[in-house]
Amino acid sequence: MRRLRVYVSGVSGVVGHGVVKNIKAARPEVEIFGSALDKFNVGAHLVDTFAVCPKSDSEEYLSWLRTFLSRNQINYAIPGIEIDLQIWNSNRGVFTDQNCIPILNTMELINITHDKFNFYCSVEKHQFPHSIPTRISTSYSDLCDYFGTRKLIAKPRIGFAKRGFLQIQSESDFLEALNVRNQDLIFQPNLSSDGYEYTSGIFGDDTGGFSSIITLRRRLSPMGYTDYAELVSSDDFRTVIVDYCKLFNPLGPTNFQFMIMKNQIFLLEINPRFSSSTSMRGIFGYNESKMALDFYEKGILPKQPPLQPGKVLRYIEDFYVSE
């Protein structure tokens, strides 16, 4: 078996950090390369080779990426931050030219989920009972009348995790959101009745199905990533996910975010990438990094792994580096 050389971008962030941790736990023989905007992060010390990279939306980035992939003979590349997911998706030829395989979801799903309002419009016509109504408006009263509640959620049309999300409970909250946010906002009713969100991770087979699944009940930090998660049954979520998989044909690690109100499940959004909770999933026995590498290397879909019940808490710790 050849020794794989895998590049993970954004290793300073929680997603990239988690991807690296899961690779090291399951495939210690893999040589891991990582990058971030500076060297002052723990991820730089967890990979075998680290490089400081330019910003992903800069003019020099693609040239840097080509050189980095070629010089290090990278076999597989995994985006650890949202902007890399989008840049790589639009420039897949960069990887093909360097004989490198980017571990990306389908181009169609990445494109349609990038804009949350466009995503909603694409599924609204199917009238799924678990779809959350979504509107763009400058009138709080009109939204309240339409949704039947004064409790709303405002979120950027384009964004990731829960950054920029606001809870709206009054007209003053609404006007502040419109005035403060220098971006397009969409509005949805706040349907969470238990204070939790639910995240289901699946491994899509690109033909409308999936071969494995895990579901966590979680609380989010103010930065939008999961800081508490517990394993729950996927049975109630599976039926909902089946509908969307048939519609979008996801490939590889794909995340579905849900809220529950009065025992009814509502889909918040689909994220066609590794999740910020991917390291937590690894602890429960669901290692998405291993699944993806095994799939692309061997061409075999992962089987459902046995999952270890329990809870995971995320905390800040110190990492010492000798000089």
Domain at 62, CATH number: 3.40.50.20
pLDDT at 132 over 90: no
Q: Based on the fold, state whether residues 137 and 46 are members of the same structural domain.
A: no
The answer to whether residue 292 sits within a structural domain is yes
What strands lie across the sheet with 152-156, from one edge to the other? Answer: 166-168, 152-156, 185-189
The answer to whether residue 116 sits within a structural domain is no
| Region of poorest pLDDT, from 1-10, 79-88, 90-99, 283-292 | 1-10
> What's the pLDDT score for residue 63?
97
Of the pLDDT bands very low, low, confident and very high (cuts 50, 70, 90), residue 316 is: confident
Number of domains in the chain: 3
Q: Based on the fold, state whether residues 137 and 171 are members of the same structural domain.
A: yes
The answer to whether residue 243 sits within a structural domain is yes
Buried b (16+ CB within 10 A) or exposed e, 56-95: beeeebbebbbebbeebebbbbbbbbbebbbbbbeeeebb
Place of tokens 């975010």: 257
Which has more confidence, 44 or 1? 44
The answer to whether residue 71 sits within a structural domain is yes
The answer to whether residue 113 sits within a structural domain is no
pLDDT at 7 over 60: yes
94: DSSP letter = H
| Region of poorest pLDDT, from 32-36, 277-281, 291-295, 319-323 | 319-323
The answer to whether residue 319 sits within a structural domain is no
Question: Could you report the per-residue pLDDT of 249-285, keeping only the tens digit for each?
Answer: 999 999 999 988 888 899 988 999 999 999 999 999 9
Task: Identify the CATH number of the domain in which residue 153 sits.
Answer: 3.30.1490.20
Q: Based on the fold, state whether residues 168 and 202 are members of the same structural domain.
A: no
Last residue of a domain, one of 123, 156, 189: 189
Which residues, 6 or more positions from 304, have their beta carbon under 8 angstroms from its beta carbon?
211, 212, 213
Nearest to 205 by CA among 289, 292, 269: 292
Q: Based on the fold, state whether residues 218 and 255 are members of the same structural domain.
A: yes
Q: Based on the fold, state whether residues 29 and 69 are members of the same structural domain.
A: yes
Q: Based on the fold, state whether residues 231 and 141 are members of the same structural domain.
A: no
Q: Based on the fold, state whether residues 305 and 199 are members of the same structural domain.
A: yes
Last residue of a domain, one of 189, 205, 220: 189
The boundaries of the domain holding residue 89 are 5-104
Buried b (16+ CB within 10 A) or exposed e, 176-201: ebeeeeeeebbbbbbbbeeebbbbbb
> What's the pLDDT score for residue 220?
78
Q: Based on the fold, state whether residues 206 and 290 are members of the same structural domain.
A: yes
